[in-house]
A and B are shown apart, each in its own frame.
Chain A
Amino acid sequence: MTATSTDPGTGTGAARAAFDPRPYTAAGHTLRSWLTTTDHKRVAILYLIAITGFFALGAVGAVLVRLELATPRPDLLSAETYNRAFTMHGIVMVWFFLIPSIPNVFGNFLIPLMIGARDLAFPRLNLLSWYIYVLAGLFTIVTLVKGGVDTGWTFYTPLSTQFANGHVLLAAAGVFTAGFSSILTGLNFIVTIHTMRAPGMTWFRLPIFVWSHYATSILLVLATPVLAMALILIVAERGFGVGIFDPRLGGDPLLFQHLFWFYSHPAVYIMVLPAMGVVTELISTFAGRAVFGYRFVAYASLAIAALGFLVWGHHMFVSGQSMYASVVFSFLSFLVAVPSAVKVYNWAATLYRAEIRFTAPLLYGLSFIGLFVFGGLTGLILASLALDVHAHDTTFVVAHFHYIMVGGAVTAYLGAMHFWWPKITGRLYPDALAKLSVLLLYVGFNLTFFPQYILGWLGMPRRYHEYPAEFQVWHLLSTAGAGLLAFAYLLPLVYLPWSLRWGQRAGPNPWGATGLEWRVPSPPPTHNFDRIPTVTWEAYTPEATAETKDTPP
């Protein structure tokens, strides 16, 4: 490619002369300057604001569900409204919070800094991806305003094509559009990691955070189009009457489940792989050491991504699919435990006999490990053919995937927020309050979701808004836990904005961390690096021992 405006990474003499040392936040204060920015750091902030809004919206759905389930009788919501509440909770949290959360905020902000580049490979495409995301979000909000949709986030046919009363096409259009945003982000990251690394930044000198985003991007690029096709086929059936899934029109209802889970199982790894990348950085930093078994941790990300494409059938054990297919899917699902365990053991080995600093970000990271391991082990129960028949479609499944997605991914997201907040804003937050919110999160989360394992095992189906009176004590515990959890999520929304004005100023490297992003000022200048660094050291080498050498201008 010729040197065009899409490539601000070239360290030419002209770029050197024009280097502006002011932080990226000072590059413009008008709304227009933010909405037209192509700076990866500013786009990350745009994403941060948008996904925080969607997180709040999804949380409203969760609150409604938990309040309704506090009593056995349907007294707060009608069956219809309840269906719409949990559907909106699922759609918003999966596609508008979890999938974009860590990649689009922290990946966007950090990948160029970590690999020693001045921006992503396609800065304008990055901004476009945000606008597509916002457009998709508007579709979803319009769906909500018009009365919502009652299919569950899975859009299962024939419910979604024949029986659903809500605005299925509009909701599907929102998810379809959000998919394009995902694809563009994944594409941008892959190209950036391939072509924009600083001299000497070889693949095995990349932070694990970058490796996990690379694996995530592969999933985004290859799995999302299959979801797009599934949604196109729903539109063909519901909009044009061409039978694809409806048996009366010659369709095959199971086909939808195959296509949907071919995307949506990898989507779980889209949510959790970046979280694993974050946790690796947290542990290495606060153990004060290089990651134990670096190459194994790096390859484990790719292994999880690759296996992720081969396990979708474990969502369909009771669907009537071939028993032999189920056996293979069950076996492959067990295999996912291997690279996942490789990561957990390597984190443990990194911490073993280290001089650990128990900061708030590390506590988030340790909470991640605890909750992720618990969610992962119950995943093995669900991957077992016989046990799954008992637990299928109960709150056991709900508890399992919330341990991974909320206990895992959201906790890691908050860990990333607390770790890189000083880099992004240049300010430190009150440590004691942050530690309090981790404690509330850990207790509140377990109180919310552990009872759901028990309920599910006792036979409480998911998606029911009434239940026998003897289940009430577990449901009440769960609802109480959700209150604590809400408080744990609200607290950072108070002290982090507070720190913007009153927080102590952070230096370039308040944690003594090792990545390239900590070698530039906080907040970083618009073009990141005055001189593109030449990397001569291995990943996780402390700054003091790493020999810093700059390329000649």
Chain B
Amino acid sequence: MTGRTGAGPGTTASPGQLGLWLFLSTEVMMFGALLLAITLARLGRSGAAPFDKGLGAANTAILLTSSLLVAVAVERSGPCSGPGRARLPLVGAAALGVAFLAVKAVEYRADFAKGLVPGPDLFVNLYYVATALHAVHLTIGVALLAGLALVRPQPSTVEAAGLYWHFVDLVWVFLYPALYLVPG
């Protein structure tokens, strides 16, 4: 398909890949707006972030590991690999996604017990909006990976789902320091 066009430089990406990158760029702008708001709220607030750094760090480790498994799945879905070899890492990554959500649920429960509920603190309120929106994205990602593990997907499909998963992971990599680590 790309051979037909080639009218100029920059036309080597397939339409599907280019479309996916553009979609991810819209997501970057959406989460970017939220990160900007979080940064502003952080600047207008004194004292260290009240959230549990330990659970946050554990979740960061879980997501980074899941991204590794997704990378392995993309590698194994290539034409040189046997059929079904991508299944195990896909299942593993989806399971880690579920583990992340479980840890998050435990953390919400602990937050509520500590009285960290939506209230007069904008930073805390944005924490809930940001982590909830991230969890929605992650849930979609888990469904995608689990779905791919059930069928025998095209390599390009695994790559596309993988890109999305890495993006959701990357959002967390920005949310974690912004919400948990930046000192007051």
Contact = CB atoms under 8 A, between A and B. Distances in A.
Interface stretch (B17-25, B53-61, B144-152, B165-173): B17-25
Contacts of A252: 40-41, 44, 122
B10 A10 contact: no
Contact of A221 (B26, B37, B119): B26
B33 A199 contact: no
A194 B11 contact: yes
A228 interface: yes
A222 B29 contact: yes
Contacts, number: 136
Given A244-B129, A250-B122, A202 B8 contact: yes
Contact of A199 (B5, B17, B30, B118): B5
A196 interface: yes
B30 A9 contact: no
Contact of B22 (A1, A187, A223, A249): A187
Interface stretch (A37-45, A140-148, A230-238, A343-351): A230-238
Contact of B17 (A1, A243, A251): A1
Nearest to B34: A229
B7 interface: yes
Contacts of A248: 120
B1 to A, nearest CB: 6
- Size category of the A interface is 35 or more
Contacts of B37: 233, 244, 255, 259
B1 A3 contact: yes
Contacts of B113: none
A259 B118 CA distance: 21
B121 interface: yes
Interface in A208-247: 221-226, 228-230, 232-233, 236, 240-244
Interface in A6-24: 6-7, 9-11
A435 B22 CA distance: 42
B128 A242 contact: yes
B118 A242 contact: yes
A407 to B, nearest CB: 30
Contacts of B16: 1, 6
Given A121-B19, A222-B29, A10 B4 contact: yes
A191 B122 CA distance: 39
A403 interface: no
Nearest to A254: B40
Q: Which of A10, A194, A230 has the most CB of B within 10 A?
A: A194
Given A187-B23, A195-B18, A200 B29 contact: no
Contacts of A226: 29-30, 32-33
A225 B29 contact: yes
B15 A191 contact: yes
B14 interface: yes
A201 B156 CA distance: 28
Contacts of A54: none
Interface in A507-542: 532
Q: Which of A183, A224, A236, A250 has the most CB of B within 10 A?
A: A250
A304 interface: no
Contact of A194 (B4, B10, B124, B128): B10
A195 B125 contact: no
Interface string B30-46: 11111011001100100
Q: Which of B1, B33, B34, B40 has the most CB of A within 10 A?
A: B33
Contacts of A221: 22, 25-26
B156 A1 contact: yes
Given A196-B5, A252-B122, A191 B22 contact: yes
A122 B156 CA distance: 16
A203 B1 contact: no
Contacts of B120: 243, 248-250
Contacts of B31: 229
B27 interface: yes
Contacts of B15: 1, 6-7, 121-122, 191-192, 195-196
A190 interface: yes
A418 interface: no
Contact of A195 (B2, B126, B133): B2
A249 B13 CA distance: 47
Interface string A249-264: 1111001001100100
B170 to A, nearest CB: 16
Contacts of B40: 252, 255
Nearest to A228: B30
Contacts of B11: 194-195, 197
A122 B25 contact: no
B47 interface: no
Nearest to A220: B26
Interface string A165-201: 0000000000000000001001110111011111111
B115 interface: no
Interface in B137-184: 156
A225 B27 contact: yes
Contacts of B17: 1
B82 interface: no
A1 B40 CA distance: 42
A233 B37 CA distance: 11
B34 to A, nearest CB: 6
B136 to A, nearest CB: 10
Contact of B118 (A194, A196, A197, A241): A241
A225 B13 CA distance: 24
A243 B125 contact: yes
Nearest to A115: B7
B6 interface: yes
B119 A225 contact: no
Nearest to A196: B5
Nearest to A206: B7
15 contacts: A186-B22, A187-B19, A187-B23, A191-B15, A191-B22, A223-B29, A224-B26, A225-B29, A232-B129, A232-B133, A236-B129, A243-B119, A244-B37, A244-B125, A252-B44
Interface of B: 1-2, 4-8, 10-11, 13-19, 22-23, 25-27, 29-34, 36-37, 40-41, 44, 118-122, 124-126, 128-129, 133, 156
Given A121-B15, A187-B22, A187-B23, 4 more contacts: A226-B29, A226-B30, A226-B32, A232-B129
